Amino acid sequence: MQNANAPESSLIGEEYEVEVGPVAHGGHCIARTEEGRVLFVRHALPGEKIIARVTEGEETSRFLRADAITILDASKDRVEAPCPFAGPGKCGGCDWQHAKPGAQRRLKGEVIAEQLKRLAGLTPEEAGWDGTVMPAEGDKLPPGEVPQWRTRVQYAVDAEGHAGLRKHRSHEVEIIDHCMIAAQGVSELGIEKRTWEGMASVEAIAASGSNDRQVILAPRPGARLPLVELDKPVSVMRVDEHDGGIHRVHGRAFVRERADGRTHRVGSGGFWQVHPKAADTLMLAVMQGLTPRKGETALDLYCGVGLFAGALADRVGDQGAVLGIESGKRAVEDARHNLADFPRVRIEQGKVESVLPRTGITEVDLIVLDPPRAGAGKQTVHHLAGLGARRIAYVACDPAALARDLAYFAERGYRVRTLRAFDLFPMTHHVECVAILEPVKKDV
């Protein structure tokens, strides 16, 4: 069956009966047609027999993207998706609503293991990892219940002003009346109940460290902001249609978050971990791995609003020193505010690869890096490896980028001491890892 609007060479709409193979990075599984075509199939599970319908691809494509539209032989790990908006052709936010929570974590573990082996040449044992992906505190729930963890939700708005979420790999909006993984503080705002005429998107933020609530409105060109009347008090920000900057309309320009016993100001929609337990979970994993000592020097790279820099400063004490580097101007302002009571902390603004060489730093005791999804890259990794740190903590939201960078560290004499993985994005394919590295001991 072929899509009448697709080009002649398109295979969109074609259906294949296939057996589903292993999970792959990106929230899908791999299958092959009888002719040997590779399918990246969503809404399937390893070992199942399904009918897959092609959603992207042509005769000449290296692989085709597809949805499992009929399950002929189901996996024991399959459940009925709790969310009515999950499934083929619907919301693209969740990848694994159709899998038991324990199976989701196993699948994520298999992806991490595959990426480590393929890109870094490491087995789980060589990476100091037991192969498990740990759930966040409070996320183990009875079947059919979904953790309400997403403290930041960006709603897309259709031409009629209705709020929803994007379909997978699409600009189309799936109109919803409730997002099951949204934190209670987001849901109670009632974003989905009202219309947002003239808006392209509405982002809702519910701080987990306070009662602060914020919405960020992105107007369509020439549109006026609506009067925001929601079910709970909120501050309102707007995205400038010319420069993309975020400006205060009314209320606070920031929300207050808590981690490591400290309050952190996060302004203008700046980065903060989305799961309410994530900041403390990752901070604790990093500090346990690094074991900071009084008087040590440390770097916090891609430092955001200063979560790890503050934790390091607290532990290295007045005789130690911490340098943070962050590219975002507002995040740097927030980090300096958040860490003002640590005189031995300095925060520099700019890209890590540009600022770090200019600092003149030639040696350091500890390094934390929490790079964006693309990773730190070869140049930065090689520079860091030359600073002689006794331990390095790498916080990664993408296992492929982590594995690539671990291979670069290995080239310069650093091995993975331990690796831990955390399921801080339930129902999605995303997973967070913390790798602790140390120099390889040279034979005398």
* pLDDT of residue 91 exceeding 60: yes
> Would you call 108 helix, strand, or coil by DSSP?
helix
The answer for 222, left when phi > 0, alpha when psi is -120 to 50, beta otherwise, is: left
Q: What is the pLDDT of residue 141?
A: 84
* pLDDT of residue 201 exceeding 60: yes
Instruction: Point out which residues pair with 78 in neighbouring strands.
Output: 99
Question: What letter would DSSP give residue 216?
Answer: E
CB neighbours (10 Å) of residue 172? 13
Question: Minimal CA–CA distance to 279: which of 133, 436, 429, 136?
Answer: 136
Query: For 181-208, what is the mean pLDDT?
Result: 96
* pLDDT of residue 107 exceeding 50: yes
Q: How does pLDDT run across 176-193, given as a tens digit for each residue?
A: 999 999 999 999 999 999
Q: Which two tokens stand for residue 350?
A: 């700019």
Tell me the pLDDT of the chain averaged across its residues. 95
Q: How does pLDDT run across 386-425, given as a tens digit for each residue?
A: 999 999 999 999 999 999 999 999 999 999 999 999 999 9
Asked if residue 28 lies in contact with residue 42, where contact means CB atoms within 8 angstroms, the answer is yes
Considering 29, 91, 303, 397, which one is annotated as catalytic?
397
Q: How does pLDDT run across 258-298, given as a tens digit for each residue?
A: 999 999 999 987 899 999 999 999 999 999 999 999 999 99
- The torsion angles phi and psi of 293, rounded to 5 degrees, stand at -120, 155
Look up 433 and say whether it is catalytic: no
Asked if residue 182 lies in contact with residue 203, where contact means CB atoms within 8 angstroms, the answer is no
What end-to-end distance do the CA atoms of the chain give, in Å?
Answer: 68
Q: What is the bridge-based pairing of β-strands 297-301 and 321-326?
A: parallel
> Which whole-number Å values give the CA distances from 327 to 25, 248, 351, in the listed order?
28, 21, 5
> Would you call 150 helix, strand, or coil by DSSP?
strand
- Kindly write down the DSSP assignment for every residue of 247-271, as one continuous string: EEEES-SEEEEEETTEEEEEETT--
Question: What letter would DSSP give residue 159?
Answer: T
Question: Minimal CA–CA distance to 180: which of 205, 147, 204?
Answer: 147
Stated pTM of the model: 0.95
18 falls in which pLDDT band (50, 70, 90)?
A: very high
Per-residue b/e over 402-421, b at no fewer than 16 CB within 10 Å? bbbbbbbbbeeebbbebbbb
Q: How does pLDDT run across 228-269, given as a tens digit for each residue?
A: 989 999 999 999 988 889 999 999 999 999 999 999 999 987
d(CA 60, CA 52): 19
Q: What is the pLDDT of residue 444?
A: 43
**CB-side neighbour CA atoms (13 Å) of 313:** 25
